Amino acid sequence: MGKPIGVLALQGGVAAHCDALEQIGMESVQVRQRSTLGKIGGLIVPGGESTAIRRAILRAGMGAALTALVADGLPVLTTCAGTIIAADATFGWLDIEVQRNAYGPQAHSRCARADDGTTELVLIRAPRIVAVGSGVQVLARLDGDPVLVRQGAVTGATFHPELCEDRSLHATLFA
């Protein structure tokens, strides 16, 4: 088995991603310190509260190190608030523009299917991708809006694949 997949564990939905990785036979490690970054074969930036996650990344001194790993082609999955972190306005790993909490408050959380009918979506205070750069590939849409995008080795989801039964996204990216 290769290196474990790191799950950024500074704030947010860490345990569900670790469980999802375990279910597909992948080892995970919770990343709380910069020193752990050299020991991982991929990274998940989970959902949570984007401002708190961003501040925690900077407080832990991981911003530049994470950006360097992305530039080196480390496979990265960002979900919900993690995708806000990856957006151009924050760290710039994905050339996208996002609108926070675009699908409504927590009370409006819902399950849906992507427009193609195949991708299960769990939307919890989800951001909406309102613009994509020319180098960004749209992999799935909901009501015409991108909900799953890829640029290089970074895949961004505005939903929570770790809360769905389907593990194909985690498996495709990391197995």
Q: How far apart are CA 159 and CA 146, in angstroms?
A: 11
Q: How far apart are CA 166 and CA 110, in angstroms?
A: 16
Active site residues: 80, 160, 162
Instruction: For 20-43, write each residue's pLDDT tens digit.
Output: 999 999 999 999 999 999 999 999
Instruction: For 73-132, write each residue's pLDDT tens digit.
Output: 999 999 999 999 999 888 999 999 999 877 766 766 778 899 999 899 998 888 999 999
In the DSSP assignment, the letter for residue 88 is T
Q: What is the CATH number of domain 5-174?
A: 3.40.50.880
Whole-prediction pTM: 0.94
What does DSSP say about strands 42-45 and 76-79: parallel, antiparallel, or unpaired? parallel
Q: Where are the domains of the chain?
A: 5-174
CB atoms within 10 A of CB 49: 15
Structure tokens at 139: 């992999």
CB atoms within 10 A of CB 153: 18
